[in-house]
Structure 1
Amino acid sequence: MKWNEIKVETASESVEAVANILMEAGASGVEIEDSKDVENYSTDGFGEIIETEMITSLKEGAYVKAYFPETIFVPEILPTIRERVNKLPDYGLPLGKNEVKVTEVAEKDWATAWKKYYHPVRISRYLTIKPSWEEYQTTDPKEEVITLDPGMAFGTGTHPTTLLTLQALETVLRGNETVIDVGTGSGVLSIAASFLGAKEVEAYDLDDVAVKAAKENIALNPSAKNIQVKANNLLADVEKKADVIVANILADIIIEMLPDAWRLLKPNGTFIVSGIIEAKKQVVIDAMQAQGFIIDQTFQQKDWYALTFKKVEE
């Protein structure tokens, strides 16, 4: 079977948004090559993570490649893809080179090629992420190993926004908390919260594909038995109170959900937000403070930020 590859050259900060646009256009899978992966891995401080021949040769920016079956008429969907990508600056995301190319490829050339980039990664003091198809034996009794099978639709858990969120969770959770994960995607944050001692975790995503993927990944981690995954639009109509709410999504979406987050957080609860670029950092802080939140901690990697806020009621 032949497939059409749409390759978008964009800024590193925009890869997740571009990937989402392509998936919503009907892609069967995406592959990301990001120049910043080299910088991130070489400065993590956890030793050598991936082999150098597996790192992209890009000097700057990133490629997001999406694969569409022959049954989808690419000339029909391409204008919509271009239009949506061109609107990313409206959300504070840079376009980079913003070049789009279409080529025809054979299925065998892409269906499993992405796996060669994915290996066990120690991403924080206690957390390691490993792919489901690789064996990994820990020698550290305190290390928690999260098994993921991201498939072609979701990231591997090693993007800076995810790393920062996991590090924030590790800092915030002390055990026995109720956690809400908004926009769960692969489910990695929910699994981590469970492993870090959360009493119960509720994970929400608007995308049915994400809900299915999260459930499958949770099943790969038998110890994470206290997670409920549901399709939902952010926090709309959610009634369960939480000690911690975590959201790794676009800054504008975070701001949109602030009233619901305030409503659902228990007194002295923590709101962890990530996916925030430098240009949006102060905008998010100002909106949080206007809602009543008090900034607590800041986590940074390159141009990405994760922030934690406390709900302190007088």
Structure 2
Amino acid sequence: MNWSEISIHTTAEAVEAVSSIFYEAGAGGVVIEDPEILEREWSTPFGEIYHLSPDDFPTDGVIVKAYFPVNSYLGETVEEIKSQLDELLTYGLDIGKGTVTLTEIHEDDWATAWKKYYKPVKISDRITITPIWEDYQPAHSDELIIEMDPGMAFGTGTHPTTVLCIRAIEKYITAGDKVYDVGTGTGILSIAAAKLGADSIIAMDLDEIAVRSADANCEINKVSSQVHVKQNNLLDGVTDQVELVVANILAEVIVRFTDDVERVLLPGGTFIASGIIGAREADVKNALADSNLEVIETVYMEDWVAIVAKKR
């Protein structure tokens, strides 16, 4: 199906009224591009990062957008929107430029447009991550290729937290290790561990979509015999001890289950924790120390931190 994006360049004062016009015309929702958001101070209790580009916002005024199916009634819909926009002037409301713009969009464009930004990424001397739609040829015979189809689960493998985790796995894993991957997402850390010689990996995620995505990616990379993916809340109910636990999740979550990590690690076992924003580094390290886990390395990339700890 094709859709038409109707956008109105207006003022902050008229945003609510313009949005109401769109809703009355049958829009299920609106998109508001207001440059004011660029100056906003964000609350980040869980270490969230907000990155907004000025290029995505108008230099003046506000743009309100809505989407309508391209059908025989579209012309009438547009004329009705323009008519109601003109009526706002009679109420003394400043609508700014008031320009109405139409752009036709193909539904499959929305589903696939992001793919053009996802290219092969060399994580280390040995490991390269590539999307399944790219025809990537290894640069040398011992290069390890991880093919990914992110689907609807978080994690293309290119985020700094994932890069830090994979590099740490490569450094600390020993052939034959048993591994728990907590909050597996697309399964990329489990796949890396399998390709680096782990004997068996249990990949866990609470999100059913992530579990399906991880399963599919393990199939693509031919490591399903080593990786068992299951729906699970962190390490709840997990009892067997392993040599390595990895978790690329928010610091707020990590500090809540360090005792469980210590419980499931063999003596001398390794915990690799990432997804930690710099401001929460001390909190995570304190939680690790309280759980008898000794920090042996801390690595940084941009605003993110990965911490490697050993069970005493």
Q: TM-score, normalised by structure 1?
A: 0.70
Q: Which position in structure 2 is the counterpart of 1:190?
A: 190
Whole-angstrom CA distance in 1 between matches of 2:166 and 2:204: 17
Who is 1:214 aligned against?
214
Change (3 A) 1:152 1:114: farther
SS of the residue corresponding to residue 305 of structure 1 reads strand
Query: 1:194 & 1:109 partners in 2: Cα distance?
Result: 34
In structure 2, stretches of 5+ residues that fail to align are: 6-25, 31-40, 58-62, 68-104
- Conserved? CA contact 2:127–2:146, under 8 Å: yes
Deviation at residue 101 of structure 1 after TM alignment: 7.2
**More moved, 200-209 vs 285-294:** 285-294
SS at match of 2:125: coil
Indicate the residue corresponding to 2:305 in structure 1.
305
| Distance across 2 between alignment mates of 1:72 and 1:247 | 41
Hey, what's the Cα distance between the residues in 2 that align with 1:296 and 1:251? 18
Instruction: Classify 1:296/1:113 alpha carbon distance in 2 versus 1 (closer, same or farther; 3 Å).
Output: same
Instruction: Report the counterpart of residue 115 of structure 1 in structure 2.
Output: 115
Q: Which amino acid aligns with 1:297?
A: E
Q: Map 1:127-276 to 2 at 5 A.
A: 127-223=127-223, 225-276=225-276
The structure whose Rg is larger is 2
1:26-79, CA deviations, whole angstroms, 9 ceiling, x for partnerless residues? xxxxxxxxxxxxxxxxxxxxxxxxxxxxxxxxxxxxxxxxxxxxx99548xxxx
Is the counterpart of residue 92 in structure 1 residue 92 in structure 2? Answer: no
Q: Distance in 2 between matches of 1:250 and 1:101?
A: 33
Distance 1:181 1:4 in 2: 43
Look up the equivalent residue of 1:264 and give its one-letter code.
Answer: V
Distance in 1, Cα, partners of 2:276 & 2:145? 26
Q: 1:88 touches 1:94 (CA, 8 Å); kept in 2?
A: no
Query: How well do the aligned residues superpose, as a CA RMSD in angstroms?
Result: 2.8
Letter of the 1:278 counterpart: G
Decide whether aligned partners of structure 1 residues 90 and 142 sit closer, same or farther in structure 2, where only a CA change above 3 A counts: same
Is residue 2:287 matched to residue 1:290? Answer: no
For 1:74 and 1:240, the matched residues in 2 are separated by 48
The percentage of counterpart residues that share the same residue type is: 44
Q: Point out where structure 1 has 5 or more consecutive residues left out of the alignment.
A: 6-70, 76-85
- How far residue 194 of structure 1 moved from its aligned partner, in angstroms, is 0.3
Asked if 1 retains the 8 angstrom alpha-carbon contact of 2:215 and 2:224, the reply is no
Q: Matched residue pairs, number?
A: 239
**Worse-superposed segment, 242-251 or 111-120:** 111-120
Q: 1:255 to 1:4 in 2, by over 3 A?
A: farther
Equivalent residue letter for 2:172: V
Q: TM-score, normalised by structure 2?
A: 0.70
Q: What's the CA shift for 1:164? A: 0.4
The one-letter code sitting in structure 2 at the alignment partner of 1:93 is: E
Deviation at 1:106, TM superposition (A): 4.2
Contact kept in structure 1, 2:248 and 2:275, CA below 8 Å: yes
